[in-house]
Amino acid sequence: MSLTLWNSRFSVTLVRQQATMFMSSSTKTIAANSLHYTFNNNFQPQQHQIQNQQQRRYSTTIMKPINTALPDKGARRTSQSGNRNPGKTLPQGRNSLESSTSDSGINVPPFNHPHCDRQAMYQQPVRKVKPLRGNYDYDLVVIGGGSGGLSCAKEAVAHGARVACLDFVKPTPIGTKWGVGGTCVNVGCIPKKLMHQASLLGEAVHEAAAYGWNVDDKIKPDWNKLVSSVQNHIKSVNWVTRVDLRDKKVEYINGLGSFVDPHTLSAKLKSGDRTITAQTFVIAVGGRPRYPNIPGAVEYGITSDDLFSLDREPGKTLVVGAGYIGLECAGFLKGLGYEPTVMVRSIVLRGFDQQMANLVAASMEERGIPFLRKTVPLSVEKQSDGRLLVKYENTETGEIDSDVFDTVLWAIGRKGLVEDLNLHNAGVLTHKDKIQVDCEETTNVPHIYAVGDIIYGKPELTPVAVLAGRLLARRLYADSDLRMDYADVATTVFTPLEYACVGLSEEDAVKTYGAEEIEVFHGYYKPTEFFIPQKSVRYCYVKAVAQRSGEQRVYGLHYLGPVAGEVIQGFAAALKSGLTIPTLMNTVGIHPTTAEEFTRLSITKRSGLDPTPASCCS
C-alpha cells in the first residue's frame, strides 16, 4: 500500500512544460499608472485613467510597470511569433487589439486560439492584487478541484494567500461519480492513457511471437480486472491529492458553489448551506460531455465519464463522434478485443490538420474499425434482450438505417459547467456556455478570473490549465509578470497509431500566410520495431509546415506513429524557440528512432517527389 501511494505522488505530478514561453524584457517601459485593461459589457478592451487614491491595504487593483522592449534575440522572436512573416499582413485581429464579433453579436477578446497575439499581450500592464486580510473569509476561493484549479490554489498558498477550493461532482445519468482531481485524473487523460496502454500491451503480446517469445494463444483481456486496476489507481490519486491539499493548508470544501454577489458564494454541502466570502475568485469548473437531443440518448447512452468505470464489458460499441475522445475510445476498445464503430457527422478530428486527421482515420479503418460517415443518430431504443437498437440517417442521401449495439458512447463534444454558478449575480459574462477572459485570465469583473476548459477559445488541455493557474497565482501573490502563452501548445491524440502536433496545421498556415508563402516538408517512414512482426507502416508519416522563403521558420510539426507524445514534446520546445528548416536539417538524429525522421525531411509537397523512403540507414 505504501509503495502504491508513493507511486501515486509521482502519478499526480503533472507535466512541467519546459518550453520557453515568455519573452524577455529589456529597456523600454510604460508607465503603470496610465492604463488599466478591463472590459465593458460588450467585452471590448477599454483604457481609462486610474483615479488617484490612497494606497492602502484594502485597495483592489495595483498596477506594476512591465518592460515591453526586447533585446535583439527577443525582438526577433516577437516578430516571428506575433507576425511570423513580416512581409505578410495578418488577418484583422491577429496582430491588433481590435476585438472580433461572434455570430451571436457578442464581441470576443482579440487573443484567439490557437495563436495568441503575443506582442499586444505583452504591451499591457499586469494587475496586482493585495490580500485583504480580515475583510473576507479568504484571499482566494477557487471554484473547481481539477488540474487548473488545484495548481492555482496550491501556488497561491505557497505565496501567503488564504485559499479555499470548492469541488463537487454531479453524478452522470447512470450514477457515475468520482473524487477530487477533476476530469483528467478521474475520467480523462489518466484512465484513457492506462486503457490505451492496456490495448498496446495486448498488441505487443501477439507481436512478441515474431520476436521469438512463446506466447499462449489463449491470452485475452479481463475487462473487470482492468477497470478495477484503473479505478484503484485513480482512488489512490484522489487520496494523495486530498493529503497534499491538507499539507499545503488549502481548505478543501466538497460543495457546489454559486455566486450570491461579486464577493460571496453559497456552497451546498451535505451538512447544509455555507456562505463564503473572498477578495478574489478563480473559476475552474471545466466541462462535461454533451448528450444529443434524441429519444433514448440520456436513458441508454453513456459518455467517457462512465466508460472507465463501466461494470460490464462494453461489447459491440457505437462511438458517436469523431473528435479525439471518440477516436481514442474506439481505438483502445478495438485493441481490447471489442467491436467499436465510429459515427461521423461531418469531419474527423475537427480543429486538427485534416491531412493528418484523415490518415489517423484510415489507419483505424485498416485495423478493422468501421466508420459511418456523414451520419447522425436518430434514436436509441432498448430491446427486450437488453441490447440497444440505434436508428441513424445519412445526411447526404437521406437514407435511414439501424443496427444493434451493446453500448452507445456519446463523444459529440463538451459543455462548460456555468449553469450552477449563478454568474449573473456576480456580473460575469458568458459566451456559448464558456467564460470570456482577457490575456490575464480576467473576466469582465476585475477580481474574478477563470482558467482551464471553462474559458472561451483556448486549448482544452490539462497542462494548459495547470500552467495558466500557476502563473495566475504568481501574478496575484508573488509579484510576477509572466502571462500564459496559449500559442504553439503541443498535444497528442492517443489513437492506436498515435498522432501528435505542435503549431499551425497546414490549412491554418495557408489561411494565415497564403499558399505561395508556405512550404510543406513531408515523408513516410518505417519504424524499426515494425519490421519483424510485419506491422503496417502505410500511415507512418511526418511533416513540417514552414515559411517558404527567408529563414524558413517552422510554423507547425505533425507526427503520426508510435509514442507520438514522447516524440513531439522536445520539438515543441524547439518550435517555440524559433526552429527553422535549416536548423532541423542540420540536427543529427538519434538512430534508429522515429523522432529522427524530422531531421531527415528534405522532400516538399511542391516538388511532387515521392516521399516514401527507399532505405532506413542511408
Query: Which helix (H) or strand (E) is 3 found in, with range?
Result: helix 2-11
CB 14 within 8 Å of CB 248:
no
Residue 160 region by backbone torsions, left for phi larger than 0, else alpha for psi between -120 and 50, else beta: left
Residue whose entry in the numeric block shows the C-alpha cell 499545503 = 248
Alpha-carbon span 172 to 241, nearest angstrom? 23
- Residue 504 CA, chain-centre distance (Å), reads 15
Amino acid identity of residue 600, one-letter, is R
DSSP-assigned letters across all residues of 185-240: HHHSHHHHHHHHHHHHHHHHHHHHGGGT----TT----HHHHHHHHHHHHHHHHHH
List Cβ neighbours of 43 (8 Å cut-off, separation of 6 or more): 99, 106, 107, 108, 109, 429, 431, 436, 444
User: Which cell goes with 117?
Assistant: 497575439
Strands (E), 297-386: 302-303, 316-320, 339-344, 371-373, 375-382
> Which whole-number Å values give the CA distances from 452 to 143, 297, 371, in the listed order?
12, 28, 32
- Residue 575 CA, chain-centre distance (Å), reads 18
Nearest-5° Cα angle at 237, 233 to 241: 175
The distance in angstroms from the start CA to the end CA of the chain is: 51
Catalytic residue among 48, 206, 424, 591, which?
Answer: 591
Alpha-carbon span 385 to 352, nearest angstrom? 40
591 assigned to active site: yes
Alpha-carbon span 173 to 305, nearest angstrom? 10
Question: Residue 529 carries which DSSP code?
Answer: G
Alpha-carbon span 504 to 497, nearest angstrom? 21
From 606, 543, 546, 601, select the one nearest 579 (Cα to Cα). Answer: 546
Q: Which residues are known to be catalytic?
A: 591
